[in-house]
Structure 1
């Protein structure tokens, strides 16, 4: 019977030419004396280290990747998070093609690279394919190669999935238990405006305009959009601006963040010698994504939507999906796309353009009303109902 670990190692050896020459990674030939005996864990460590210390750039393709990432940052304006995502893919490609010059890379070589993600979801393979194609298109445009070997590679078809939503009663339960205007306003930003977690973390008091009834948010790539404030969110904003901030003891100021971090600090000892703790707030400091995540699950726990201490299972992004789905039903896909900050309508259509059960129920309601009107007008006799 075949050994699964041995088979996996053989597959990794086939996909990673660096097994044949450790110098392709460390650049000085001082690697392991027999690379063919590398374990899977050692191979994974080599790949991680090569990305971390940039040693993958010792390969010919890796040198070109370094130039591409510099162009991508300085001229295209890619954000740090986008650069990290691209480098993770391109570094692995460089190691896989360590024994080749850029002009020697073929379409089959790149298909072998993409196959490294063969067990991942179609959506992940779509992203990997897009990164690989973008890099080689740039190499062709810049004159490093004559023709992009990735030009004939197609992105895999991703499965169409219905965007998951929050439970139907989540909004009233969350807003009922949130006592402070600050928390309620942050929940309104998620539930009625559809902001992302990173956008929520970056909201400062100055971004709200109570006179123009709007909120300015900065999305992916620092893209800016202005969201109109209407209904209860506007009333909650005015209450927030006139209330003292939690653990701060003063009204909000323009430089304050909406969800600022707090920390428990030592505050002396009590009458019986017990240690006392106080909460210190940092309203001028942006909260980390992890802090916003914990805040969200505290709200869910208070509303009884998750159990005590649970920090997974009801992702914050579900609030964005719920908002987008409801807005699309009421105002159409174009309005949803603009509110979400999508630069391409196809992005919105791919996630929220489908018709779901609620759409069908509403259509049948309209059809039943139309039939009833036809009967009242004498156009459809009662016996024709079947």
Structure 2
């Protein structure tokens, strides 16, 4: 498990985990397998969940100092959970992070109760702190068009990386898929006949997302003129991934983030963003173009409509800004 900061912002979580009683470590290992294999969560999500629980159990162990593994876990009650969150709040942890850690704790205690590791589920009595949901930064339609026009100009030189970057930018904006979903795509997931791409989202859930003519053209150029060059140069035959890195393996999300940051950064005045910003942008433009919330929810792969409704606030804010500028009685 990679080293990262604990609940106090200084403690290395690897050291915290190593200091836990053996039974607690074993329980963490079981929980990690449950998240990865049974729930099918991404490696990034699993690391975040486990990091939060290591922080919680480290707080419990340091606070009580019990040598008996079972006794130490038995003392995990709602008072301890609240004290753990209160300490982090005192250390300046944001409300959003506290809400996430509260949810992680509830998920863990419910699982531990089912496994018989806890006699009762203390997380069921834990209330998450209310979060202030900030409006996501999005590109205006003209800014998005400028990003893609500049990218297409680079692809016209038939440089393999330019073709790849243009294709992934077009596909991100056309579909609003997550960066992990984009990197997980295989060549066989693209259906040019119906112009749809098969995506495996959170929890391994499959959905089909359409894309338009510009994305089709960019993908065909990449597959015809860019991808074969990288395969030949790296001798990586048999790689199924749709998007390849310069060494011929599956493209890494970090590389996609760099591509998006650089592309958006080339447009004067555009908000700095990564792939998730393009996802926000795609959703916002769909709603502004007349798409209904349910359809956008399906396209984005949101589990609940409440997540998709965030984008309605973005469009309302934009409408208010237009009203302020255009209506003679706005001010």
TM range (shorter): 0.7 to 0.9
Aligned to 2:3: none
Secondary structure (helix, strand or coil) at the match of 2:122 reads coil
What is the correspondence of 1:222-371 to structure 2 with a 5 Å cutoff?
222-245=204-227, 247-248=229-230, 255=239, 257-262=241-246, 282=248, 285-300=249-264, 303-305=266-268, 313-329=272-288, 330-349=290-309, 351-354=310-313, 356-360=316-320
Name the stretch that deviates more: 142-151 or 87-96.
Answer: 142-151
* TM-score in terms of structure 2 length: 0.76
1:118-150 CA-to-partner distances (Å, cap 9, x unmatched) read 122222111100111112222323333332222
TM-aligned CA deviation for residue 74 of structure 1 = 4.2
In the aligned structure 1, how far is the partner of 2:41 from the partner of 2:259? Answer: 29
Matched, 1:217 2:217: no
Secondary structure (helix, strand or coil) at the match of 1:260 reads coil
1:181-222 CA-to-partner distances (Å, cap 9, x unmatched) read 443322111212112222222333322111122112222333
Higher normalized contact order (CA 8 Å, seq sep 6+, divided by chain length): 2
Secondary structure (helix, strand or coil) at the match of 2:225 reads coil
- Provide the alpha-carbon RMSD of the alignment: 3.5
Taking a change above 3 Å as real, the CA distance of residues 92 and 245 of structure 1, as seen in their structure-2 partners, is closer
Secondary structure (helix, strand or coil) at the match of 1:215 reads strand
What is the correspondence of 1:1-386 to structure 2 with a 5 Å cutoff?
44-45=11-12, 47-51=13-17, 54-58=18-22, 61-98=24-61, 99=64, 100=66, 101=71, 102-118=73-89, 119-178=92-151, 179-180=154-155, 181-245=163-227, 247-248=229-230, 255=239, 257-262=241-246, 282=248, 285-300=249-264, 303-305=266-268, 313-329=272-288, 330-349=290-309, 351-354=310-313, 356-360=316-320
In the aligned structure 2, how far is the partner of 1:211 from the partner of 1:155? Answer: 47
1:252-306 CA-to-partner distances (Å, cap 9, x unmatched) read x9945443222xxxxxxxxxxxxxxxxxx52xx10222222222234345x4449
* TM-score in terms of structure 1 length: 0.66
Name the stretch that deviates more: 338-347 or 77-86.
Answer: 77-86
1:44-76 CA-to-partner distances (Å, cap 9, x unmatched) read 24x43233xx44243x65554444334444444
Aligned residue pair count: 297
Taking a change above 3 Å as real, the CA distance of residues 143 and 166 of structure 1, as seen in their structure-2 partners, is same
Unaligned runs of 5+ in 1: 1-11, 17-39, 263-280, 369-386
In the aligned structure 2, how far is the partner of 1:93 from the partner of 1:74? Answer: 23
Structure 1 runs (4+) deviating above 6 angstroms are: 361-364
In the aligned structure 2, how far is the partner of 1:244 from the partner of 1:149? Answer: 55
TM-aligned CA deviation for residue 173 of structure 1 = 1.7
In the aligned structure 2, how far is the partner of 1:132 from the partner of 1:327? Answer: 35
The structure with more radius of gyration: 1
Secondary structure (helix, strand or coil) at the match of 1:192 reads helix
In the aligned structure 2, how far is the partner of 1:190 from the partner of 1:72? Answer: 27
On the 8 A contact 1:73/1:79 being kept in 2, the answer is: yes
In the aligned structure 2, how far is the partner of 1:115 from the partner of 1:73? Answer: 29
1:86-125 CA-to-partner distances (Å, cap 9, x unmatched) read 2111112112111352223332111111224312222211
